[in-house]
């Protein structure tokens, strides 16, 4: 069975979408997607509100209540039947997120178990046959097939196969 | 720089020692080290108290307050200077332990940072040049040099280089 490594944030969970929706509601303003191209969706928020956005990102409950990226659940279920699947999330920067990510994953993907989650800070020690991630910095060290999952902060990144959405992922892997 | 993977429980943190001390105080009884040889220190506790021991293991605060394995801090500091070091702990079975393990690590090893901790359920996707662990099941898939760290539950395990204590680890790696 080939091993598949799938990222969490911006790939199956949607912290950016949740933050944008909250920001529009709180401040009546939109984000600047162009500014995200430096490699971080946080950069899309006006500089005067960076601190409050970062504070919310670190707060208790934020990662527990995130929406799903559209269409991922049935495709992940199919991948889980066909591959040795691990969900690998760079999470130790956010201490409150650790248990919340585990609880969130087991709620939305009841066919997965605790053995399939990896919470780390750096992904350079992870190996497998396929890896789907939204950050080139996580893919760069990976020895297997690398897939960059489309999101506004990586539109300018070149040199990787891309996956636009979970429908496309199903076509590739299922 | 070679990559070093070091386990947490029974290697740098001492949940078994903490539980034995608590058990002696609460029940005035000793554990049976011989029974641990099945591969788990929990098996050393009398069957009538397995449930209460397991409950304490899952409780809030247990992993936050663990004692250190003797002599590990200065050796880990030396290893951290000489190797690319990651502390990799099979922790997702214990949801409350996740943040506690991060806080514990950064308290006792202030020269480490959140990027160096990996919390997982299974270690088969971890690669590096050296791995120190007390469980053969974690070492078996590892492609680099494997070292079994001595503890009562692994005394009967054969086929691995062994490390008796952190003084010996210093001789090997520093």
- Which pair of structure tokens corresponds to residue B110? 């202030």
Which domain does B51 fall in, by range?
15-64
A9/A25 same-domain check: no
Q: Which 8-state DSSP code applies to residue B69?
A: P
Whole-number Å distance between alpha carbons of B61 and B101: 10
Query: Is B99 in Cβ contact with A122 (below 8 Å)?
Result: no
Q: What single DSSP character describes residue B155?
A: T
Instruction: Label residue A109 by pLDDT band (50, 70, 90).
Output: very high
Mean pLDDT for A30-57 is 95
Cβ neighbours, 10 Å, residue B99: 20
Per-residue pLDDT of A48-102, as tens digits, reads 999 999 999 999 999 999 999 999 999 999 999 999 999 999 999 999 999 999 9
Q: Which helix (H) or strand (E) holds A7?
A: none
Residue B116's closest CA among B163, B80, B72?
A: B80
pLDDT bracket for residue A155 (50, 70, 90): very high
Assess whether A46 and A9 both reside in one domain: no
What's the CATH code of the domain at B141? 3.40.50.1000
Cα distance between residue B164 and residue A26, in whole Å: 58
In angstroms, rounded to a whole number, what is the distance separating the alpha carbons of residues A118 and B71? Answer: 28
Domain shared by A32 and A60, yes or no: yes
Task: For residues B78 and B143, state if they share a domain.
Answer: yes
Q: What is the dihedral of CA A45, A47, A48, A52, to 10 degrees?
A: 50
**Based on the number of CB atoms within 10 Å of its own CB, is A129 exposed (0-12), middle (13-18) or buried (19 or more)?**
middle
Whole-number Å distance between alpha carbons of B118 and A72: 25
Q: How confident is the model at residue A113 (pLDDT cuts 50, 70, 90)?
A: very high
pLDDT digits (tens, 9 = 90+) for A116-140: 999 999 999 999 999 999 999 999 9
* B46, burial (CB in 10 Å: exposed 0-12, middle 13-18, buried 19+): middle
**Which letter does DSSP use for residue B56 in this model?**
H
Chain A contact present for B103, CB below 8 A: yes
Contact B35, B44 (CB under 8 A): yes
Residues A126 and A147 in one domain: yes
B115 touches chain A (CB under 8 A): yes
Domain closes at, from B27, B43, B64 = B64
Range A10-33 average pLDDT = 97
Same domain for A92 and A133: yes
In this structure, are B165 and B80 located in the same domain? yes
The three-state secondary structure class of B145 is: strand
* Nearest 10 degrees: Cα torsion B117, A45, A101, A94: 30
pLDDT value at position B156? 96
Whether residue B92 and residue A115 make contact (CB cut-off 8 A), yes or no, is: yes
Q: Which residue of A has its CA nearest to B87?
A: A120
Q: Is B86 on the interface with A (CB under 8 A)?
A: yes
Note if B7 is an active site residue: yes
Final residue before a domain boundary, out of A43, A64, A85: A64
Residue B165, C-beta contacts closer than 8 angstroms, at least 6 positions apart: B70, B71, B150
Residues of A in contact with B88 (CB under 8 A): 125
Per-residue tokens: A80: 């889980």
C-alpha distance from A26 to closest chain B C-alpha (Å): 30
Strand A130-133 to strand A145-149: parallel, antiparallel, or no bridges (unpaired)?
Answer: parallel
Q: Report angle CA A30, A36, A37 to the nearest 5 degrees.
A: 140
Q: Are A131 and A74 part of one and the same domain?
A: yes
Question: Any chain A CB within 8 A of the CB of B106?
Answer: no
- Identify the three-state secondary structure at position B9: strand
Query: Which chain A residues touch B92 with a CB distance below 8 Å?
Result: 102, 114-115, 117, 119
Collect all residues with Cβ–Cβ distance below 8 Å to A128 and sequence separation of at least 6: A2, A3, A4, A5, A84, A86, A142, A144, B125
> What would the pLDDT profile of B71-109 be if each residue is shown by its tens digit?
999 999 999 999 999 999 999 999 999 999 999 999 999
Whether B92 and B54 map to the same domain: the answer is no
Residue ranges, chain B, pLDDT below 70: none
pLDDT value of position B157:
97
Give the number of domains in chain B: 2
Instruction: Name the token pair of A78.
Output: 């199919």
What is the pLDDT, as a whole number, of residue B29?
Answer: 92
| Chain A contact present for B126, CB below 8 A | yes
pLDDT of B167: 98
Residues in chain B: 174
Alpha carbon of residue B167 to chain centroid: 16
Same domain, B7 and B93: yes
> Do B156 and B83 fall into the same domain?
yes
Q: Residue B25: its pLDDT value, please?
A: 97
- Reply yes or no on whether B103 is catalytic: no
- Picking from A95, A115, A120, the nearest residue to B118 by CB comes out as A120
Q: What are phi and psi of B134, to 5 degrees?
A: -95, -5
How many other C-beta atoms can be found within 10 angstroms of the C-beta atom of residue B32?
13
B107 and B156 part of one domain? yes
Q: What is the pLDDT of residue A29?
A: 93
Tokens of A92: 């130790």
pLDDT value of residue B97 = 97
């Amino acid at each position: 069975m080939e091993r598949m490594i799938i990222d969490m944030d911006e790939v199956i969970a949607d912290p950016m979408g949740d933050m944008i929706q909250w920001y529009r509601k709180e401040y009546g303003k939109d984000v600047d997607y162009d500014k995200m191209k430096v490699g971080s969706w946080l950069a899309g928020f006006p500089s005067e509100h960076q601190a409050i956005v970062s504070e919310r990102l670190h707060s208790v409950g934020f990662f527990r209540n995130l929406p799903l990226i559209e269409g991922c659940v049935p495709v992940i279920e199919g991948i889980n039947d066909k591959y040795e699947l691990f969900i690998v999330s760079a999470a130790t920067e956010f201490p409150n997120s650790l248990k919340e990510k585990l609880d969130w994953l087991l709620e939305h993907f009841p066919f997965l178990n605790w053995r399939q989650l990896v919470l780390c800070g750096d992904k350079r020690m992870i190996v497998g046959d396929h890896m789907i991630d939204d950050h080139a910095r996580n893919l760069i060290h990976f020895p297997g097939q690398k897939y960059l999952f489309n999101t506004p902060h990586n539109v300018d990144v070149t040199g990787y196969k891309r996956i636009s959405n979970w429908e496309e992922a199903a076509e590739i892997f299922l």
